[in-house]
Structure 1
């Protein structure tokens, strides 16, 4: 991790892959990740951790399934939302978005429980900023 300031706009401009987060820094045992997203992710659950989202640009929607039924939250630029651990959710961005995520290091982007992983979703614990990534189903650290 760098001990220099990181300009998020420049960091986002350094890669094009969608649904393939880059780790920009670490806070204690948590990764701070940025990602470009467009279209749908997949329904999944993180059994042991919450998932924090900050929308840097565009709009992100997150569908949630819980005991009270299904609902969708819409997050315009500048909004934050935390998906509680154990909550089934599916992020999507019809017109694209840039997001920042905060979650424990080693957390898989597709969660602990999910359906089949579509080819456009990178199943990863995050790529180092500046790495090319390896596309879908990558799991590098």
Structure 2
């Protein structure tokens, strides 16, 4: 009799929505209970990811891989992000958060660097990353 009850428990537990797993190099996904502190670099996601939107951001992060810089990815979605979504941001240079109550203001498809919205264009991103790196390493 214990086996059917145990199977039922695992079935119910597997059906409840849980956040996905972040890549191995990253800290686990943090669920925000208050607004994120104004970090140096924040990128918010409000819907599905399109790889073309991330090309420039991922490329510039790769250029700055030897710095201590981290990009904070905030998932402003109602349902928890799945593992396949979280793996769009590989490596230790990313820190990911889930903000179901939308405490963190949107960045509207741009990167928020020190409170200023930066378009996802190579020159603008390089300048924002250089400024953020300079403020961290001094």
TM-score interval, smaller chain: under 0.3
Higher helix share: 2
Larger radius of gyration: 2
- Between Structure 1 and Structure 2, the one with more strand by share is 1
TM-score normalised by L of structure 2: 0.25
